[in-house]
Structure 1
Amino acid sequence: MDKIKVAVIGCGAIAQRRHIPEYASNPNVELVAFADPVIERAQLMAETYGGSSYASFEELLANEKVDAVSVCTPNYLHAPMTVAAANAGAHVLVEKPMASSEEEAQQMIEAARRSGVYLMVGHNQRLMPPHVKAKEILESGRLGKVLTFRTSFGHPGPEGWSVDGRDSWFFRKDEAVMGAMGDLGVHKSDFIRYLLNDEVAEIAGFVGTIHKEGTDVDDNAVCILRMKSGAIGTLVASWTQYKGGDNSTVLWCEHGVIKIGTVDGDEVIVEKTDGGVETYKVGAMATNEKQVPSGVIDAFVESIVTQTPPTISGEEGLRSLKVILAAFKSEAAGQTIKL
């Protein structure tokens, strides 16, 4: 079969560390083009991996016939770029949060539907081995219903991750739209929906800028969630976990507790109310320091090759985004928001 011709739009940290190397190592893919307003970044990727470089995505789409595109740009550009790529007949993998608003997300979903292409959102938490294992354990039913939970994602902030450091777009509200919630919180709203196979019914959000100076995007959020099933729990997103970042989830169930990512080396721990303890070493979760394959790129390529719609679809991305948008509404209104 012919290789899938892929273009990457935006050549910052997530593209350099995840998308591009993972495409390069996929035997079904040929990387053909890169775009970045800082043309040197696109040129460096083209020199390293082959293909052409462009300073704008419009130019790239006008000059290249591509089968698929990764959109790895500041949040406010996700929607216009996704719509343009879909209109050009390309499948799109977009970074999270998929859009800045519900309306934008709907436009993206509609554009993909109209063109008969796939839209996938880069919610990699679902694909991490400890999370896959935990879902399998839950679905076996042996722990009964999930009653309460906490899920958390925190690190010291984008300045250590972004190619632009403290000058990153992550800190500029007109480009980022949202801070830690768009960066980390939306991963966890997606993950808890997936893990519990449930939707958020109601949310109370405390969202604010506590410590990062010179920015008006949120650097911390603590949210209380009530799920449709009745389970209640917390969701935390933080850019100020300067020592010991957190990417853990704990579920208290009728017959025991599941701890995910709480102990290094034992990625999933099940402690049963009858005294039994099980530990699973299933492989680490990806962190900014330790890039294990995210699984997202391979899943996207697999969808295209097998002509199977992606499970982490635009619709799924929108459901996870709605939770985060509701948390901002809750903060602004000082009350719980029903979804």
Structure 2
Amino acid sequence: MGNFKVGVIGCGSIAQKRHLPEYQANENVEIVAVCDVVESRAEEMAQKYGAKAYTDYKEVLKLEEVDAISVCLPNYLHASVTIDALNEGKHVLCEKPMAVSLEEAQAMNHAAEWNQKTLMIAHNQRFVSSHQKAKTIIENGNLGNIYSFRTTFGHGGPENWSIDGASSWFFDKEKAFVGAMGDLGVHKADLIRYLLGDVSEIGAFVQTSAKENTDVDDNAVCILKMDSGLIGTLTASWSYVSGNDNSTVIYGEKGMMELENDPDYSLKVTYKNGESVHYSLDKIQTNEAGGQTTTHVIDHFVESVLNERPPLITGEEGMKSLQVILSALEANETKQMIKVSSGNVSFST
């Protein structure tokens, strides 16, 4: 067994489909503790992964042998549990969105810094083959100046995926704080920042149109202006009832690049002169049966801690991606364009 001992807090869908199997597949890791307020859920995972079951996460944090914690809880608990874990000297991999306010995100980052522990946010889009290849193509100047983009993430909603179905915390504003924008939009905010730099201004329409009995958003269309001046759109939706869309298209002076926009090619570049290059790369992870490839998030987290290197998505990066979403919500509420400056953490939502 591995010498890197981990505890997973929260045994819902994200833990069962991503964290636990991927930790188990990593030869350096031993899963020693699993925790869930639903005791039977914790027991079931404990049995499956040869770990010990807990219902109180603080007991897991007291275990000296535990090196790291995965926080797989509803959004509103991310900050408090992450900070407690860091203060107990554990490294933390926290699910996205990292928090429900910038103040919380900052407090998490301070705790990581203060305790000199790794805090990584589980944004898996940066590890997708087509996205990494796209970054290289952009940086190499193959597309020339970038003019515009569109990025979207939509599916039929968490009731099809979450362990609790339609009664899931995803629809509970108190627990989720934000809907499709926090579930899906934050992934694309992180991806676009990774590919094209920081966002400087945002405008948005955010609404609840497809789901009943919920106050969280399920459809959002945002206009982004990047620090470089280029503009584009970001959409997040739980209303795509007949399938997923996880695509990004980037328009440059020499051509356009399509990511995850074609069923056969995860990356397609079409040049102005009509030439096109298709790349068959590893497929993007989906929650569909048979589409479940590794997210690389767990392996990267373990590797970062063991090699004492900062992860690709630090708490600071997670905070900047969260800020895009918070600014979009503010833009929708105020019906104004909102400046997203990396230093602006004063407003409260």
TM-score by length of 1: 0.98
Shift in Å, 1:39: 1.1
1:14 matched to which residue of 2?
14
For the pair 1:78 / 2:78, whether they are aligned, the reply is yes
Partners of 2:226 and 2:252 lie apart in 1 by 14
Partners of 1:65 and 1:55 lie apart in 2 by 18
For the pair 1:209 / 2:218, whether they are aligned, the reply is no
Shift in Å, 1:139: 1.4
Any conservation in 2 of the 1:265–1:284 contact (CA below 8 Å)? no
What is the CA RMSD across the aligned residues, in angstroms?
1.0
Q: Deviations over 1:59-107 (max 9, x none)?
A: 2213453100000000000000000000010100000000000000001
* Secondary structure at 1:69 match in 2: strand
Q: Deviations over 1:100-128 (max 9, x none)?
A: 00000001001111111000000000001
Shift in Å, 1:305: 1.3
Q: Which amino acid aligns with 1:65?
A: E
Q: Which amino acid aligns with 2:267?
A: V
Structure 2 unaligned blocks of 5 or more: 341-349
1:245 matched to which residue of 2?
244
Partners of 2:337 and 2:195 lie apart in 1 by 23
Greater displacement, 283-292 / 233-242: 283-292
For the pair 1:328 / 2:329, whether they are aligned, the reply is yes
Any conservation in 1 of the 2:2–2:30 contact (CA below 8 Å)? no
* Secondary structure at 2:260 match in 1: strand
1:280 matched to which residue of 2?
279
1:175 matched to which residue of 2?
175
Change beyond 3 A, Cα 1:64–1:159:
farther
* Secondary structure at 2:92 match in 1: strand
Moved over 2 A (4+): 62-65
1:143 matched to which residue of 2?
143
Greater displacement, 35-44 / 75-84: 35-44
Any conservation in 2 of the 1:124–1:296 contact (CA below 8 Å)? yes
Question: Which residues of 2 match residues 71-220 of structure 1 at below 5 A?
Answer: 71-196=71-196, 198-220=197-219
Partners of 1:98 and 1:61 lie apart in 2 by 19
Q: Deviations over 1:153-188 (max 9, x none)?
A: 000000010000001000000000000000000000
Q: Which amino acid aligns with 2:57?
A: F
Q: Which amino acid aligns with 2:214?
A: T
1:309 matched to which residue of 2?
310
Partners of 2:199 and 2:61 lie apart in 1 by 38
2:66 matched to which residue of 1?
66
* Secondary structure at 1:266 match in 2: coil
Aligned length: 338
* Secondary structure at 1:65 match in 2: coil
* Secondary structure at 1:262 match in 2: coil
Q: Which amino acid aligns with 2:51?
A: G
Partners of 2:300 and 2:145 lie apart in 1 by 30
Partners of 1:225 and 1:56 lie apart in 2 by 42
Shift in Å, 1:2: 6.2
* Secondary structure at 1:212 match in 2: coil
Shift in Å, 1:319: 0.3
Q: Which amino acid aligns with 1:125?
A: Q
Q: Which amino acid aligns with 1:36?
A: D
Identity of aligned residues (%): 54
* Secondary structure at 1:131 match in 2: helix
Q: Which amino acid aligns with 2:58?
A: E
* Secondary structure at 1:303 match in 2: helix
2:344 matched to which residue of 1?
none
Partners of 1:63 and 1:139 lie apart in 2 by 45
Greater displacement, 64-73 / 162-171: 64-73
Partners of 1:32 and 1:244 lie apart in 2 by 37
Any conservation in 2 of the 1:203–1:338 contact (CA below 8 Å)? yes
